[in-house]
Structure 1
């Protein structure tokens, strides 16, 4: 039943990028920015919560958290605390702050997440963007394939944004992605999202290389390109991006 619900969520909201920026003059809305490091946190959380012994899964109740830095010097902090569950599913409280710097932050979020031992999941998250507005996001993921070498996961989300500017109406963004990792070292992601109010579709293709990892930290290099298509964007081209990310788990 759990798997059917997750698959239904993915079908309904369509095909996700880690985060989506929607350019609206004179403001820029960061859609679902609290999910930027969600996969890393979920990987750590899954490793802590479930230990496979033959076909039997033993659950260990532990909190999980992570912190990493951005190129501009700001920091992101996320945490996940188990509330209830059994040997198959765990319900957790989740929260995070993104872009914390000089006493301020770009986004703060809190919500609930339901994780399955097979790598599937659902979440409902509320996000506050200072001077911008609020968002409510429903997300789902289905682990398509997993063994010691390969991991393939389909993700999807639907976000409702409530701008603080009364001149801008509430709007929805839907999206999805396919994420692949090889031996937790090399991977890539193909994503797409759409905001109907602005007639804008965003595409992303990203690669990831893990340079160093131990139980408490990780250093990764990411590179890729993104493109936005809209009638309001006269010329659209793929924009490259790259950077290093250091993550500390606790």
Structure 2
């Protein structure tokens, strides 16, 4: 209850501050994300972050709360706790390092580590960690690669993706994403499987 109350408090505070966005995806899922600045100087900003994800029938799929540190050079660090109803909790640390940025191009490296704590009694807590690269051209066309490893089930996940911004205004954005996902385990491998979809975001 305390965690849910904290998430709601973060979301409510950020709504009042006009620092959030709502996203609706082609598959019917949706989400709301917020960021509320708490302290800053001329180089860094510390913010409270909150997010909620919803299933196609508008049931709560996840709730996230945490803190974020953003640097003027494009670097960032985020610490969050995510609760997934019926599945458990996940504590995560994520970092982004800007490798190159000019008027047209942006290249970031990112890394993360998570502690997964399933609600199911017979499943132990386990770690997932990984990283990747993200490239954007004029905030219009992007590409990404990520890889992650989960130690409990010895599973490796890989993703290659692309993004195309179809429309953007100060208050909204329409994007198309497509790519390939793959996982490997000692007993099985999925092969590369395609994914694609549109998403619409409203900023407020």
TM-score by length of 1: 0.73
Q: Distance in 2 between matches of 1:116 and 1:161?
A: 28
Higher strand share: 2
Q: Distance in 2 between matches of 1:67 and 1:100?
A: 14
Of 190, 195, 198 in structure 2, the residue corresponding to residue 236 of structure 1 is 190
What do you get for the CA RMSD once the two structures are aligned? Answer: 1.2
1:144 and 2:126 aligned: no
Paired residues, number? 188
Structure 2 partner of 1:175? 130
- Structure 1, unaligned runs of 5 or more: 1-61
1:188 and 2:143 aligned: yes
SS in 2 for 1:198: coil
Q: Distance in 2 between matches of 1:102 and 1:212?
A: 27
Structure 2 partner of 1:226? 181
Of 189, 206, 212 in structure 1, the residue corresponding to residue 161 of structure 2 is 206
Structure 1 partner of 2:12? none
Residue 73 of structure 1, CA deviation:
1.9
Residue 101 of structure 1, CA deviation:
4.8
Structure 1 partner of 2:89? 134
1:247 and 2:198 aligned: no
Q: 1:182-228 CA distances to partner (integer Å, 9 max, x unpaired)?
A: 01100100110000111110011000000000111110111100100
Structure number with greater CO (CA < 8 Å, separation at least 6) is 1
Q: Distance in 2 between matches of 1:128 and 1:155?
A: 23
Structure 2 partner of 1:118? 73
Q: 1:84-116 CA distances to partner (integer Å, 9 max, x unpaired)?
A: 011100000000001255452111000000000
TM-score by length of 2: 0.89
1:97 and 2:97 aligned: no
Q: Distance in 1 between matches of 2:29 and 2:146?
A: 25
- Structure 2, unaligned runs of 5 or more: 1-16
